[in-house]
Each structure stands twice: as structure tokens, then as C-alpha cells.
Chain A
């Protein structure tokens, strides 16, 4: 059905926008490489494709006059979420344009800011593109070639937003969000519980996964030894 399709597309766009945001955070920092710029480019391409597809579907659905009111309300909700997502994407793209121009990688006029982020971000990009892993094929001066492209794409997204505003008139304030305050705690518990132990903003160190396995095996080994000793003591006495 059209609604499910739109929802699925919107979810995919949302995921890609979140990953893009996460990647843009590290531009200009110590983890800024040509690979990162390439990942940014691929992610935003995917995001743009999704945006165009979602926009087309939603526009078609909302311009259909013979739509029932609750269906229409549903589509309007999706529309508001979609346009918000697109605004976020556009803003992030603009930020990445200015930051990418300010921190060029090829002839480092400005040294990159040493932020402490050192690892790669290919996993994030892979998640965005829904691929297993990512191949990097960037040449040495990818970021230079990419900047004008990025500028054009920013303008394109802007134009897309404007077009959609023209075609479909949905007043934002009339849309009631379905999620109540604190809704993220309910079904997001699965995402929450696993990350609550790991991420904490105090510098309290937590065990990372291989270390957790190591600790578990050590503990079980100690337990076995204790049980064996107790049996021996029991047998002896």
C-alpha cells in the first residue's frame, strides 16, 4: 500500500540522514580523510535519491483529492517528518560544504583540528548505504573535485524543498505527532539498554566487546576452579 511504501522510504531517508549527520561531525577533525569525503559523497547521493523518491510518492498521495480524512492526516504526518528530514539534510550538506572548503585535505593550508577521533567511519557509511562494506576508490584530490559538485547538490536540494512547498500545502502546526513525550524510551529500549552500558558521558571506562568476552571466560574459569576445589575438599573431608 502507498502508506507503507512511503513509511519505508521515509525510514530509509531518516537512516541515511542520521548517518550523514554522523559523518559530517568529523569533517575538519583528526579523522578527516579523503575516504571520509568519499563516504560523504556516496551517502548524500543515496539520500538524494531517497528524497526524490519519497517526495514524489508523497506529493502524488497528497494531491489526490479523493483521500479520506484520516488517511490524509496520516500522509500529512509523514509529509511533515519528511520535510523536516530534508531540512536537516540540507543544513548538514551546507555545513559539510563550508567545513570542507575551510579544511582542505590536498594542500593542507590549515592543519586539521586534533579532536581525538581516530577511527574509520566506513561502518557508518556502510550502514547508510545498506551495504555490507564499502570500497574506497577515491583519488588523492577527491575533496577538491567534490566541492563544486556538493555546491550544486545543495542548491538542488534547496530547489526540491521549494518545489515541494509549492506543490503541496500542508500547514505544519495542524499536524499532531503520534509519539508522546518520552516515546523513545518505550520501544527504543532495545537500542537503549545495549548502549546505556557502553556510552556514558563521564569518562567511566566500560569494557568493550572483546574485553567483555575475555572477562566472562576468565570469570567462568575461576568459577570452575573454585567448584573443583570445593569438590576436592568435600571428597577429602
Chain B
């Protein structure tokens, strides 16, 4: 069988035989044992008799005996063998299943065994279809005709070879006895039934997504390999480890704190927009909304990061700091964020502006940084880049976190916010089901394009979500 031309022409060993196929091969070979193998009988045709036919029942019996398994399991195993093409039925040759009765089967020749080492190539399939075309005078099955035309387009350059080989292979086959010719053509047909299954039949060689890269790359067990392994393990020993009790504690705390805030775990009020088509939830939790919900305000007390990340929270924090006359800290922090995430071209100008406004001695909004950090910053500012103010920013951040933030949480502003915060009411379920709004995800474009038909989902029926 030809490899895909040009792909891996003469280098092998990138493919390995899949383990289940090797196992099946071993089973088949052990069936061939003259003493302990399966009972063979002869298939009688009108004139010729072809040996080595096996009844389905005998196969199942042999499997039960050999592996000491139940009959059901043996039947399943036998069906797997048939589906992978190691055994093929002699009467309904397109139906590759094992029947535990007198239906005769025969073994596939090792050349045509299903293998991932030698995947079936398009050129071979084309030659097979051409041969079949000649034999059947053009009367191919539908899907085969389709494949034929597709292949003619795909490997058009090799079509001369296809036709030549097809003719010659048929002529070579004619040199054999009648019975042998029959057997070989059945074998080939089974091979292609397995490797190019007809529509509706599942492809056995398909791997599911979880099987993925099974190909175990063979590693040479040399001294280099072991040296690398030793080095790797030594580095692994030196890594910092955190006790799992500590990790899990933090994890538990996080989960219990954020549990009531999770819309999936604790439901969301007023209602889940994906279910009821009511977008109030999103409107009420928009980034900049005048009246934040209670859950949101509570979340600001979890950590300083939460407070700063929320635009509404940051705004209120800024108000608080202005009352305390330390708003320049937050402004400085925001300016540093802008520097870090802003455009590269603005970096030098911005660094200068920040310095002039916040860091220079006698600046308008001078921030209090310790001397060492100030030294580092000044040195870094000779060649400004976007991370040059990181140290100062971190200092101010920790200052706010340790100092201003706890005071904010205890302040009247925050307490007032908590009291004012809104708890949205859950939407009432309509008592009568036929008045409930129909559940559609979004108006279908088909409906919208025909304006004379009433749009089904444009307005909610009744004030479901409104309080």
C-alpha cells in the first residue's frame, strides 16, 4: 500500500500500531493454532470448494473457552473482531457483524489487517474503485461513485497510474484459480469496507477527543536522558511548596465568601436573563450604574482589589479619600495604571507628567513615598519605560490598603451605601401559563424580515421584570 506521496516518504517510525489492534491480531493468530484453534470447515460453492470457513458459533465458543468469559462478552469481542475487519462474513459481505449461528466467516489476510502503521492511502482506494468500475461495468454503489469523482479531482495527476495499475492488477488476478480469486476479492472488499466505511456506518479508526496523542514517543534510555531526568527532579525538590491545608483553607474561605454572589450557585435576582429573556439583571449590574445592588456593595468589603476593580466602588472610595485629604494617593495609582497599560508612544511624556504632578519635591499633589523607593524611581526615570513607576505604585497601593481601606469600610459613607443598596425583587411567576412570555432566545431574523407577521418576541408580555 502506498504512503501518502511526499508526506513521510521514506522516514518511518512516526506511526505506531494502536494497542487494541495488536491485541486483536494476537487473538486471531492464536485462533489459527491447528490443535487449539477454531474448528474450520469447507465452504461449498457450486463447483469449487473453498476451505477455511468458520461458523460464527464456533468463534464464540472458542472465545468463551480460551478466555474463560461469558457468552455475551465473547459475542462482543467477536463483533469487535468483525467490525475491525479481521473476520468477514461470506454471505452478506457488507454487514460486518458476528452472528452466533451457522453463518460462515473467513479470516482476513495479514496484508489487509487494519493497521495504523500502514494507513489506507487514497491512491490505493482509487485503484480499488477503478478495478471495481471495470468489473461492474460502471455500476458502482452511490457513495463509491461519489468517492470516485472526488478522488479523480483530488489526485488527478496520478490518474494515469490508477488506470494502468487497475488493469494490470485485474490481469494478474486472472492468473489465479477461481476460488482464490473470489477469496482475494472478498478480502479486498472487506478491507475497504473497514477503511472507507459506507455512509451510516461508524468509522472504527476514528479516535475520540480524549484519546488524542497516544503515540508514546520512544525515548532512548541513554545517559543523557538520565542526566536530564536527575536535573529535573533536583529542581523540583527545590520548589516552594505550600501546605495543602493552607491552600484549602484559603480556597474554602474564597468559596464561602463568594458563594452567595455566584449567579449559578445562588441564583440571580431579579431573574436569569438567559432563561426569562429579561435583561434587568444586566442593567442593574452595569459597570457604571447609579444605584449599586447590595451584593455588589458587600463585595467591596472582601478585598481592596474588589473595591478598586469596580468603577462605582472606586468612585465612592475617591469621594471618601477626598474627605480625608488623601485623594492624591488614588490619583497617583490611577496615573500609574494608565502608564502601564497605555500606549508606548505616550510613555516618556506620561512619566514626566506624573513626576511633575506627584513626585517632584514641592509638587501640587505630592505623594508620600519612602526615600529608597524614591531613589529607585528617580534612577529608573532616566530611561523611562512603562514599568518604571511600579515600585512607587506598589508602595502607595499598600499604603491605601493598610490605612485608608479599613477606614473606608468603617466609615459612614460605606455604611450609608450599604443601607441604600437595592435588593432586586424576584420576578413573580405568572399563575396562568398561557400568559407567560414565550421563551425564545432572540427574535428570529426570518420573522423580522417579514414585517407583516407579528414579531413573536419583541416585547415582554406584561411587566414581568419590572418592579
Distance, CA A117 to CA B53, complexed state (A): 11
Q: State the Cβ distance, A204 to closest chain B Cβ, in Å.
A: 9
Contacting A207 at CB < 8 Å: which of B47, B162, B180?
A: B47
Q: State the Cβ distance, A40 to closest chain B Cβ, in Å.
A: 12
Report how many residues on chain A are interfacial, defined by Cβ distance under 8 Å. 82
Chain B, 164-180, contact with A by CB distance < 8 Å: what is the 0/1 string? 11111111111111111
17 further interface pairs, Cβ-Cβ under 8 Å (given A15-B168, A116-B43, A172-B6): A14-B165, A25-B187, A30-B52, A84-B158, A87-B5, A90-B10, A92-B1, A115-B106, A117-B184, A118-B50, A119-B180, A124-B172, A124-B176, A172-B157, A185-B138, A192-B134, A195-B170
Distance, CA A121 to CA B151, complexed state (A): 32
Q: Are B136 and A196 in contact (CB under 8 A)?
A: yes
The answer to whether the Cβ of A150 comes within 8 Å of any Cβ in the partner chain is no
Q: Are A208 and B32 in contact (CB under 8 A)?
A: no
Contacting B158 at CB < 8 Å: which of A15, A92, A177?
A: A177
Q: Are B163 and A179 in contact (CB under 8 A)?
A: yes
Chain B, 24-53, contact with A by CB distance < 8 Å: what is the 0/1 string? 000011001110010010010111101111
In chain A between 149 and 164, which residues have their CB closer than 8 angstroms to a CB of chain B?
158, 161-162
Contact segment of B108-116, B307-315, B326-334, B404-412: B108-116
The answer to whether the Cβ of A31 comes within 8 Å of any Cβ in the partner chain is yes
Chain A, 10-21, contact with B by CB distance < 8 Å: what is the 0/1 string? 010011011101
Residues on B with beta carbons closer than 8 Å to the beta carbon of A195: 134-135, 170, 174
The answer to whether the Cβ of A199 comes within 8 Å of any Cβ in the partner chain is yes
Distance, CA A36 to CA B10, complexed state (A): 26
List of 8 A-B pairs having minimum Cβ-Cβ separation, nearest first: A205-B46, A28-B110, A18-B168, A177-B159, A123-B175, A119-B177, A205-B45, A114-B52
In chain A between 113 and 161, which residues have their CB closer than 8 angstroms to a CB of chain B?
113-119, 121, 123-124, 126-128, 158, 161
The answer to whether the Cβ of A201 comes within 8 Å of any Cβ in the partner chain is yes
Residues on A with beta carbons closer than 8 Å to the beta carbon of B110: 27-29, 99, 102-103, 113
Residues on A with beta carbons closer than 8 Å to the beta carbon of B162: 179
Residues on B with beta carbons closer than 8 Å to the beta carbon of A200: 135
Report how many residues on chain B are interfacial, defined by Cβ distance under 8 Å. 80
Q: Are A115 and B47 in contact (CB under 8 A)?
A: no
Chain A, 193-217, contact with B by CB distance < 8 Å: what is the 0/1 string? 0111011111101111001000000
Q: Are B177 and A91 in contact (CB under 8 A)?
A: no
Task: Name B171's closest neighbour in chain A (CB-CB).
Answer: A191
The answer to whether the Cβ of A24 comes within 8 Å of any Cβ in the partner chain is yes
Task: Name A31's closest neighbour in chain B (CB-CB).
Answer: B180
Q: State the Cβ distance, A139 to closest chain B Cβ, in Å.
A: 24
Contacting A181 at CB < 8 Å: which of B112, B118, B149?
A: B149
Distance, CA A110 to CA B32, complexed state (A): 9
Residues on A with beta carbons closer than 8 Å to the beta carbon of B369: none
The answer to whether the Cβ of A80 comes within 8 Å of any Cβ in the partner chain is yes
A-B contact count (CB 8 A): 236
Q: State the Cβ distance, B242 to closest chain A Cβ, in Å.
A: 52
Task: Name A92's closest neighbour in chain B (CB-CB).
Answer: B1
Residues on A with beta carbons closer than 8 Å to the beta carbon of B111: 24-28, 95, 99
The answer to whether the Cβ of A183 comes within 8 Å of any Cβ in the partner chain is yes
Task: Choose among B40, B106, B136, B170 the residue with the greatest number of A CB atoms under 10 Å from its CB.
Answer: B170
Chain B, 184-203, contact with A by CB distance < 8 Å: what is the 0/1 string? 11110100000000000000
The answer to whether the Cβ of B367 comes within 8 Å of any Cβ in the partner chain is no
Q: A18-B169, A121-B176, A175-B157 are in contact. Are A181 and B152 (CB under 8 A)?
A: yes
Q: A15-B168, A87-B3, A177-B156 are in contact. Are A182 and B186 (CB under 8 A)?
A: no
Q: Are B123 and A182 in contact (CB under 8 A)?
A: no
Distance, CA A73 to CA B186, complexed state (A): 39
Q: Are B161 and A80 in contact (CB under 8 A)?
A: yes
Distance, CA A161 to CA B175, complexed state (A): 30
The answer to whether the Cβ of B360 comes within 8 Å of any Cβ in the partner chain is no
Q: Are B183 and A117 in contact (CB under 8 A)?
A: yes
Q: Are A77 and B134 in contact (CB under 8 A)?
A: no
Contacting B32 at CB < 8 Å: which of A88, A112, A177?
A: A112
Q: Are B91 and A178 in contact (CB under 8 A)?
A: no
